[in-house]
């Protein structure tokens, strides 16, 4: 379905190198927009944005959880040790584990890239 959008020049300039990927960018943006109120994605948009920006290998290796995300991880782990998670907490944990997996893969690839550059 054809759709015409009017956007500000600044955004148009940012999007121009990615013209072929605009449908995928919009799809990912809609997914993030829908997830913004879900606790499973809280604090993760920074990670996604950093990886989507095509960072240098050094930037990938420097990725760390934000303070808020680390506190949430710690809280979930503490709760699991003391009792059991709710279904929502289990889903959140699974999402966090998947993102951690993606970051580990990105870091492994960054390490390989740096080794090849030596």
Domain membership of residue 1 (yes or no) is no
Backbone conformation region of residue 85, classed left if phi is above 0, alpha if psi is from -120 to 50, else beta: beta
Tell me whether residue 89 is in a domain. Answer: yes
Does 24 reside within a domain?
no
Domain span holding position 46: 39-117
In a domain, residue 43? The reply is yes
Is residue 102 in some structural domain? Answer: yes
83 assigned to some structural domain: yes
Domain count, the chain: 1
DSSP 18-45: GGGGHHHHHHHHHHHHHHTTSGGGTTTH
Residue-wise pLDDT tens digits, 63-116: 998 888 899 899 999 999 998 888 888 888 888 898 899 999 999 999 999 999
What is the reported pTM? Answer: 0.60
At CA 8, angle to CA 5 and CA 14, rounded to 5? 95
pLDDT digits (tens, 9 = 90+) for 7-32: 999 988 988 998 898 888 888 787 76
């Amino acid at each position: 379905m054809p759709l015409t959008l009017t956007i500000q020049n600044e955004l148009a300039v940012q999007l121009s190198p990615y013209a072929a990927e605009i449908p995928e960018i919009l799809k990912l943006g809609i997914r993030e927009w829908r997830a913004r109120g879900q606790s499973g994605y809280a604090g993760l948009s920074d990670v996604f944005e950093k990886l989507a920006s095509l960072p240098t290998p050094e930037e990938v290796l420097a990725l760390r959880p934000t303070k808020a995300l680390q506190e949430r991880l710690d809280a979930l782990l503490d709760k699991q040790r003391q009792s059991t998670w709710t279904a929502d907490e289990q889903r959140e944990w699974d999402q966090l584990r998947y993102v951690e997996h993606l970051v580990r893969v990105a870091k492994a690839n960054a390490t390989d890239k740096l080794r090849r550059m030596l």
